[in-house]
Structure 1
Amino acid sequence: MRPPPSIPPRFGLDPARMRLPVSQEWATIRDHLVTRVPLPAAQVDAMFDAGRFHDAEGPLPIDAPYVSGGSVWFHRDLPDEAPVPFGIDVACRDDRVLVADKPHFLATIPRGRHVRETALVRLRDEHGLPDLSPAHRLDRVTAGLVLFVIHREDRGTFQNLFRDRRVSKTYEAITRYDPTLPREQVVRSRIVKERGIVTAREVDGEPNAETLVELVDHRDDPLVGPVARYRLTPRTGRTHQLRLHLCSLGIPILGDPFYPDLRDVPLDDLRTPLQLLARTLSWPDPASGEAVTVHSRRTLQAWDDPAGWLAGPAGTSRRCPTR
């Protein structure tokens, strides 16, 4: 159910919808809310006075009678967020999709402590696209291409392209150079991600993750030492798949705060971005069937501007669980 027009998006975010239980326990909606929302009763009353609670007809007065099974919409108070001082480029846009070229350190969608400082909220607000939604996601610390769908009615079409593996993606990564590794290889493993644990891990068993790893170039840089530039083509989409697969080869991605060591890095520490970039996206146009390919214009600093990239990682570390 869409929110009522009387409560428009704020910072590009739709209001939260709260469904009222089927019950006759409360005389007013206010009586129910003070038992349900994690706020002092005085703050709930102040929100009513400010007209922040709405039903389908508009703002609710503080004495609005309880409606069993009804709905209430309101904007939550947003957390304090560390600003991400990097813009989002638009790599491609037509009537149905917008492909964003996301910077490092910007989450794709609101989650936890990241709300306004996310690609979705920024793009909705900057481009006036209230129904914009991502067809897939990119890690906060990874830069590059993310496909967003402009209209609600097209969401399923583009999400199904990803579900059916009809979208091709390539990534670029910078690692330490190991001359003993082959120039091209396919890495397969079984990756599991447990709820409540930030890292994934490889375990024994039938592989569920596969990545083509190709060495593009390497050099001995006077600032960061022997480095290599890899092209990565994932054939599956497991959490942290590329990061784990390069780590398993002994060449973890430069700037990785998770692998092989989990480092506690403050959210506002933007000194050493993960050197991983979603370089290309390709998909068949749903209407014509013609192939569409988009390229990121971003670069990886450890390769193109090593003097501006701090080789020394920030934060303290603790060892991650291994296979």
Structure 2
Amino acid sequence: MPRRPRSQRRRPPLPVRDGVGPSRVRVPHGISERARDGSAADTPATIAGYLTARFPAGALRIAEKIAAGEVVDADGAPITAGTPCTPGAEVFYYRDPPREEPVPFALQILHRDARLLVVDKPHFLASMPRGRHITETALVRLRRSTGIGALAPAHRLDRLTAGVLVFTVDPGARRAYQELFAAGAVRKTYEAVCSAPPSLALPTVLRSRIVKERGVHRAYETPGTPNAETAVERVPGGAHVRMRVRPATGKTHQIRVHLASIGAPIMWDPLYGAGPAPGTGARDGSVQHDFSRPLQLLARSLEFTDPYTGARRRFVSARALERW
């Protein structure tokens, strides 16, 4: 059975708690029906067994949460130690937040109304919880500071990228704004400072196929039908190579990959530069923050036609790149 699109999934049975939503785990349909009587040696018979096998390092905490009734199914009913492992079942619980290094930069609100909350995100702050970054994210910070538990991102920015980021306040309006970004109906302008001049004449439009594999930190270009398009122009003046960039698509790390592909990697880029910037992280993505050397990439502005009012809306970052 195919997975339902996010917009069609039911609301989680657990509420947002201290700014953090519950984690969702789905039992794959590849789990054999034989697992329900334990006859398949390689397949857990219970939900508890499945969770323990999937997250062995957290086996003790999983058992504690199940015993306390803190792990529930899609209807909000508590999972017990004997709940059968049913293919396709959804399980919800609150993760224990990892220990995170605080990001010492403020998140500034640019605009707020009944449907939207637009912020100026600093470098190093993730857009939303993922992997090692849970509480040190724009979404959790904003939920805590505003008290809006239903707040959700309309799009994302890379953790190392600063600038304009849009959230929806009203769950009923979420889909309309997310579809603007998905359809490429939002005009996005970025500024970047590069560590070398480009290898070709500008302005130009870069088109290629970019792939980002799950679990691999670097995205890469590969032969095939282009799925990423970026317009690039050089901004004159200053002591550094300054670029104005307008991506027509939104592939992961698109701007960073495209600028590196023309010999002009973004300054202090730990993944696509000539080498890891000291202290900012290794090329495998391990986190070693040096907050004094932020990636020189800024989402300067966003512009779109509001799907509810028909008005043209434009939001502009008040931040400045150090090397601009």
Identify the TM-score tier after normalising by the shorter chain: 0.7 to 0.9
CA RMSD in angstroms comes to 3.2
- 1:198 positional shift: 1.7
Q: How do 1:127-276 and structure 2 match up within 5 A?
A: 127-176=146-195, 178=197, 182=201, 184-220=203-239, 227-261=240-274, 263=276, 264=282, 266-276=287-297
- Residues matched between the structures, number: 290
Q: What stretches of structure 2 of length at least 5 have no aligned partner?
A: 1-9, 39-44, 277-281
Query: Relative to 1, partners in 2 of residues 1:66 and 1:208: Cα closer, same or farther, differing over 3 Å?
Result: closer
> Residues 160-189 of structure 1: CA distance to partner in whole angstroms, max 9, x if unpaired?
111221111000001246498645232233
SS, match of residue 187 in structure 1? strand
Q: Which residue of the partner structure matches residue 2 of structure 1?
A: 11
SS, match of residue 141 in structure 2? helix
Structure 2 counterpart of 1:120, from 128, 136, 139: 139
Q: Does 1:291 align with 2:297?
A: no
> Residues 93-116 of structure 1: CA distance to partner in whole angstroms, max 9, x if unpaired?
111111121111111111111111
Q: Which residue of the partner structure matches residue 89 of structure 1?
A: 108
> Residues 224-252 of structure 1: CA distance to partner in whole angstroms, max 9, x if unpaired?
xxx02221111222222211222222221
Between the aligned partners of 1:245 and 1:293, the Cα distance in structure 2 is 25
Q: Which residue of the partner structure matches residue 21 of structure 2?
A: 14
Q: Which residue of the partner structure matches residue 282 of structure 1?
A: 303
Between the aligned partners of 1:93 and 1:237, the Cα distance in structure 2 is 24
Q: What stretches of structure 1 of length at least 5 have no aligned partner?
A: 221-226, 304-323
- 1:117 positional shift: 1.0
Greater shift after overlay, 160-169 or 170-179?
A: 170-179
SS, match of residue 178 in structure 2? helix
SS, match of residue 238 in structure 2? strand
Q: Which residue of the partner structure matches residue 110 of structure 1?
A: 129
Query: Relative to 1, partners in 2 of residues 1:67 and 1:90: Cα closer, same or farther, differing over 3 Å?
Result: same
Between the aligned partners of 2:92 and 2:256, the Cα distance in structure 1 is 40
Between the aligned partners of 2:201 and 2:79, the Cα distance in structure 1 is 69
- 1:268 positional shift: 3.1
Q: How do 1:31-50 and structure 2 match up within 5 A?
A: 32-38=46-52, 43-44=61-62, 46-47=64-65, 50=68
Query: Relative to 1, partners in 2 of residues 1:236 and 1:270: Cα closer, same or farther, differing over 3 Å?
Result: same
Query: Relative to 1, partners in 2 of residues 1:33 and 1:67: Cα closer, same or farther, differing over 3 Å?
Result: closer
TM-score with structure 2 length normalisation?
0.77
SS, match of residue 194 in structure 2? strand
Q: Which has the higher strand share?
A: 1
Query: Relative to 1, partners in 2 of residues 1:61 and 1:230: Cα closer, same or farther, differing over 3 Å?
Result: closer
Between the aligned partners of 1:72 and 1:266, the Cα distance in structure 2 is 30
In percent, how many aligned pairs have the same letter?
44
TM-score with structure 1 length normalisation?
0.77
Between the aligned partners of 2:133 and 2:301, the Cα distance in structure 1 is 26
Query: Relative to 1, partners in 2 of residues 1:12 and 1:246: Cα closer, same or farther, differing over 3 Å?
Result: same
Between the aligned partners of 1:205 and 1:162, the Cα distance in structure 2 is 24
Between the aligned partners of 1:160 and 1:268, the Cα distance in structure 2 is 34
Between the aligned partners of 1:179 and 1:113, the Cα distance in structure 2 is 34
SS, match of residue 219 in structure 1? coil
Between the aligned partners of 1:57 and 1:235, the Cα distance in structure 2 is 40
One-letter code of the match for 2:308?
Answer: A
- 1:286 positional shift: 1.0
Between the aligned partners of 2:85 and 2:195, the Cα distance in structure 1 is 61
